[in-house]
Amino acid sequence: MLIQIEDMENKTLYTIIVHSENIAGTLNQITAVFTRRQINIESLNVSASSIKGVHKYTITCWTTEDIVEKVVKQMEKKIDVIQAHYFTDPEIFQREVAMYKVSMPEFQSNPEASKVVRRASAHIVEVNPTFAIVEKVGMSDEITALYQNLKELNCVLQFVRSGRIAVSTSCFERVNEYLAHREERYRNGK
């Protein structure tokens, strides 16, 4: 149920990439920045980054550039946040992963089913007499489209999708360089 229909005009889907120290409570601090401004998080992915002890957050939300810029600065202000940046869709490569658990009898009885899966470039990763699991890696709307198509065939038992993960199109992720620079500045200041 839609409790409140927000004015989506002038809003853009931004992807915010944050690097932080892996300390308990950091996620709380990052999400609190959204709560304070009553911004809904569309999707959120948190996992270890390539740097030891550093976690990477990929967060999407609908908002304006003015607000997202302030949100990112508020995040960077947190002591244990190393860097935070925001991107629009053209500035990133982004993927989500989804799993669709489908009922085997329904799936087999309809010849359209396997075509739908193939057309969507999805994979079947588990098959047994009661169900199959279809896995799809792709863009948000592709994942939604496949769900709609499978749903029309009345075979979906469960559906789950991950948060978005993204890398920037620029040679951006320079957290290593940033940390090295911070340490160098510190040494020089001594």
Using the minimum distance from each CB to another protein, give the nearer residue, 96 or 173.
Answer: 173
Binding of another protein at residue 85 (CB under 8 A)? no
Q: Of the ranges 65-73, 92-100, 135-143, 145-153, which one interacts with another protein (CB under 8 A)?
A: 65-73
Using the minimum distance from each CB to another protein, give the nearer residue, 46 or 157.
Answer: 46
Q: In what order do the strands lie in the sheet with 12-21?
A: 43-48, 54-63, 12-21, 81-87
**Tell me, what DSSP letter sits at residue 164?**
P
For residue 164, which of 12, 15, 10, 20 has the smallest C-alpha distance?
15
Query: Would you mind telling me the total number of residues written for the chain in this entry?
Result: 190
Binding of another protein at residue 77 (CB under 8 A)? yes
Can you say whether residue 121 is alpha, beta or left, with left for phi > 0 and alpha for psi between -120 and 50 degrees? Answer: left
**Tell me, what DSSP letter sits at residue 163?**
P
Kindly determine how many residues on this chain lie close enough to bind another protein according to the rule CB under 8 A: 22
**Among 13, 43, 70, 114, contact with another protein (rule: CB under 8 A):** 70
Binding of another protein at residue 174 (CB under 8 A)? no
Binding of another protein at residue 46 (CB under 8 A)? no
**Among 64, 123, 182, 184, contact with another protein (rule: CB under 8 A):** 182
Residues 6+ apart with CB under 8 A from 164: 15, 43, 45, 58, 60, 94, 95, 96, 140
Question: Can you give the binding site for another protein, defined by CB under 8 A?
Answer: 20-21, 25, 28-29, 32, 36, 69-70, 73-74, 76-77, 79-82, 179, 182-183, 185-186
